[in-house]
Amino acid sequence: MSIQGIILLVPALLFAISVHEFAHGFVAYRLGDPTPKYQGRLTLDPRAHIDPMGALMLLLFRFGWAKPVQVNPSYFKDQRQGMAMVALAGPAANFISAYVFLLTVNILPSMFSPQVGIVLYQFLLLNMQLNLGLAAFNFLPIPPLDGSKILAWLLPARYGFSFRRLEMYGPVILLLLLATGMVGRLISPILSVLRYLLFSLPRFR
C-alpha cells in the first residue's frame, strides 16, 4: 500500500471503529446502564476505543478488533431485547455513517481544487466502503459479533439461551472461517443487501 493510501486509511479506520463502539455505549447508557459512561466510552475519541494490537491487525490484514464496550444487562428492563438493541447500534451507526459519506462524496470534492478534490473524493469513498464493510461483518451471526446477539434475541428464548452458549467457541469458529476464506462468502450477501439499501435512500441531486 502506498504512503498516501495509509494516510487515508488510518483516520478512516479510526473513525469507523470509534463510531461503532460509541454507538454501543450510547445505546446501553440510554437504556439505563451507566457502565459505558463510567469507563469513558461515550466519546468519539479513538483513544477510548482502540486496542493497539487489534488496530494493527486491522491495518495490516483488514481484520482486527476494538476494545469491547462492557455492558451490564441487569440494568435493562428487558435484558434480551436490551442486548440486541446495543448490538444493533454498532453496525447501524456504521451504516448511517456510510450514508453520510455517500451524500457528501459527490458534493464536497467539487468545492476544492482538482488536486485536493481528487484526494477528498478518495477519502470519502474509502470511509463509505469501510463503514459499510464493518457493518456487514458485524452482522454475521457468529459470536462474539453483533449479529449473534441480534439472532439470540430473535430466536425463541430456549433456543437463544442455547445459542449464546456457543460464545466460548465463537472466536475459534471465526478464525477458522477467516483462514478458509469463508468469511468473505458469508459477508457477500449481507454486503449486497446493505449496498442496495444504501443506494435506495434519497440523495442530493
- pLDDT of amino acid 92: 98
Q: List the single range of 4-8, 78-82, 139-143, 151-155 with lowest mean pLDDT.
A: 4-8
16 Rama class: left (phi>0) / alpha (psi -120 to 50) / beta: alpha
- pLDDT of amino acid 205: 60
Judged against a pLDDT cut of 90, whether residue 96 lies above it is answered with: yes
Q: How far apart are CA 128 and CA 16, in angstroms?
A: 9
Q: List the single range of 9-18, 40-49, 144-153, 154-163 with lowest mean pLDDT.
A: 154-163
Mean pLDDT in residue range 171-185: 83
For residue 42, is it within any domain? Answer: yes
- pLDDT of amino acid 180: 85
For residue 134, is it within any domain? Answer: yes
Judge whether 91 and 135 are in contact, CB under 8 Å: yes
- Looking at the structure of the chain, the number of domains it has is 1
For residue 170, is it within any domain? Answer: yes
For residue 120, is it within any domain? Answer: yes
| Selection from 130, 136, 143 nearest residue 83 by Cα | 143
For residue 205, is it within any domain? Answer: no
Judge whether 63 and 130 are in contact, CB under 8 Å: no
Q: Hey, which residues are catalytic here?
A: 21
For residue 35, is it within any domain? Answer: yes
Q: How far apart are CA 76 and CA 99, in angstroms?
A: 30
Mean pLDDT in residue range 47-61: 79
- pLDDT of amino acid 191: 96
Residue 44: domain span: 3-200
Mean pLDDT in residue range 20-48: 96
Mean pLDDT in residue range 120-128: 95
- pLDDT of amino acid 62: 64
Long-range contact pairs involving 159-168 (C-beta distance under 8 Å, separation at least 24):
160/80, 167/143
Judged against a pLDDT cut of 80, whether residue 140 lies above it is answered with: yes
Mean pLDDT in residue range 37-47: 95
